[in-house]
């Protein structure tokens, strides 16, 4: 990649970071392209973008700055329990401030893996009767998909490599990196997503 990594302490390649997969320039270009697509579909209409915390915060904030029409912003925070802990379920722990009934809503994610998080959220939010509900994700990993969900806008397809940066974390670190990268950690450390308490 042409991007020269910054010397941001924890994320400097040569330490924990193995390889930059998408540098800041590539991310920015793709975010702008997604913004153009969203404009083509929604311009002139009233749109609410809903970011799923925490990972989507960086992507959403860049995305809205590239939209040429006014939008509203809200955030959801969820907890997810692993099957091991008896749940396998998603729960909203910080709900929207907006009433979405009759609104055009775009859910914004940093990454879709199994799709189970969005599957739950879509079912849950559809009960509130929005005028429309669509999904925009920066990354998607089709190999891991367990739930069929409609993704209208997707930035990049990625493989199974565990990724950090630009909102993506490992144990809540590396979200602040301006690029998306792989880690040097052994796969055994990353074999399963940690049981997460999000937001
Ligand atoms: C990530 C991502 C999605 C979810 C996707 O969140 O932001 O919300 O996983 O996974 P799925 O498609 O398998 O359901 P994470 O649990 O890492 O929390 P975070 O956003 O706070 O980092």
* Cα–Cα dist 27/136, whole Å: 14
Cα 55 to averaged position of ligand 1 atoms, centre (Å):
7
For the Cβ of 55 lying below 6 angstroms from any atom of ligand 1, the answer is yes
Sequential DSSP letters for 111-158: EESSSHHHHHHHHHHHTT--SEEEEEEEEE-GGG--S----SEEEEE-
Contact 104, 111 (CB under 8 A): no
What's the pLDDT tens digit per position in 130-158? Answer: 999 999 999 999 999 999 999 999 999 99
Sequential DSSP letters for 11-54: G-BTTTEEEEEE-HHHHHHHHHHHHHHHHHHHTTS-EEEEEEET
For the Cβ of 115 lying below 6 angstroms from any atom of ligand 1, the answer is yes
* Cα–Cα dist 56/135, whole Å: 12
For the Cβ of 196 lying below 6 angstroms from any atom of ligand 1, the answer is yes
Tokens for 139?
């990354």
Least confident of 1-15, 47-61, 91-105, 120-134: 1-15
pTM comes to 0.87
Cα 145 to averaged position of ligand 1 atoms, centre (Å):
13
pLDDT above 70 as % of the chain: 82
Tokens for 141?
């990993």
pLDDT of residue 90: 86
Annotated catalytic residue 23: no
For the Cβ of 76 lying below 6 angstroms from any atom of ligand 1, the answer is no
Least confident of 75-84, 158-167, 188-197: 188-197
Q: Which of 141, 122, 43 is CA-nearest to residue 76?
A: 122
What's the pLDDT tens digit per position in 174-196? Answer: 999 999 999 987 655 555 444 33
Helix (H, G, I), strand (E, B) or coil at 92: strand
């Amino acid at each position: 990649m042409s991007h020269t990594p910054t010397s941001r302490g924890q994320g400097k390649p040569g330490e924990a970071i193995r390889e930059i997969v998408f540098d800041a320039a590539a991310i920015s270009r793709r975010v702008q392209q997604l913004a153009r697509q969203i404009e083509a579909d929604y311009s002139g209409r009233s749109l609410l973008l809903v970011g799923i915390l925490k990972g989507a915060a960086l992507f959403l904030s860049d995305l809205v700055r590239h939209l040429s029409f006014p939008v509203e912003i809200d955030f959801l925070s969820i907890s997810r329990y692993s099957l091991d802990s008896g749940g396998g379920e998603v729960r909203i722990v910080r709900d929207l401030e907006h009433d979405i009934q009759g609104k055009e809503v775009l859910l914004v994610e940093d990454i879709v893996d199994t799709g189970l998080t969005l599957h739950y959220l879509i079912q849950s939010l559809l009960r509130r009767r929005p005028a429309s509900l669509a999904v925009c994700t920066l990354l998607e990993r089709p190999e891991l998909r367990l739930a069929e969900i409609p993704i209208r806008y997707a930035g990049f397809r990625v493989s199974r490599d565990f990724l950090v940066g630009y909102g993506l974390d490992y144990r809540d670190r590396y979200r602040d990196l301006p690029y998306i990268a792989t880690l040097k950690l052994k796969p055994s450390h990353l074999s399963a997503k940690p049981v997460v308490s999000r937001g």
